[in-house]
Structure 1
Amino acid sequence: MKSKIILLLTFTLFGIKGYSQQLVYEPLNPAFGGNPYNYSWMLSSATSQNKLTAAQQPREEQSELERLGENLNRQLLSQISRTLLQEQLEGFGSFNQEGTFTYG
C-alpha cells in the first residue's frame, strides 16, 4: 500500500513537471520592445486617464479692447522712458570714451 502511494506521488510530480513551461517577460509598451499593436490601446488608455488641462494664456482671455489698452500703455511708457533718458544724456556730450552711466 505504501509503495502504491509513493509510486502515485512520483508519477504525479513527474506529470506536473512535464506540463510546466518557462515564463518569459514581454513588455507591453512598443517603445520598450513590446507588440506594436498595443500602441493605440496604450495611447487611448493614457488619454482617458489624463485629468490635466493646458493652462490658457492670459492674452487669450483678453478682449480686443483690453489688448489695445495694453499696447497703448506699453508704447506710452516706452516713449516716456526714451525721452527721459535722452534728456539725462544731453548734458554729458559725446560718448566716445569707455565708461558707465547710472540712471535713476
Structure 2
Amino acid sequence: LSTDEQERLIEDLGGHRAMILRNHGLLTAGETIARAFHEIYFLERACQAQVKALSGGAELHYPSEDVRIKTAKQFASPLVEPILQRAWQAALSLIEHQYTEYAS
C-alpha cells in the first residue's frame, strides 16, 4: 500500500526472483505470471521441507556447493521454460475443473 515500501522491496529484491519477508511471508517475481507462480510454488515447498527437517531435531546434511550451483543453473536455464508453461497450464486446468466460479 505504501510506495516507499514498494521501492524498498524492489531495491531489496534486486536481480533475484524470490525473497522471504520477515513476518510477512514469501515474495516472488517473474517475467510472466507462470514464472512467478513457479517460483512461489517451489519456494513454499522448500520452506515446508526445511521446517519439517528442522523439527526432527537431527543434524541436517546440506548439499555440496557444486550441487547447489548446478541446481541453480538448471532452474535458470532456458530449457526450463517449456516445463514452467506445462505446469502453469496444469494449474489453470485444475482451477477450471475444481472451481469454475473462480475462473469466470
Shared topology, TM-score over 0.5? no
TM-score normalised by L of structure 1 = 0.28
Q: Which has the higher contact order (CA 8 A, sep 6+)?
A: 2
Greater Rg over alpha carbons, structure:
1
TM-score normalised by L of structure 2 = 0.28
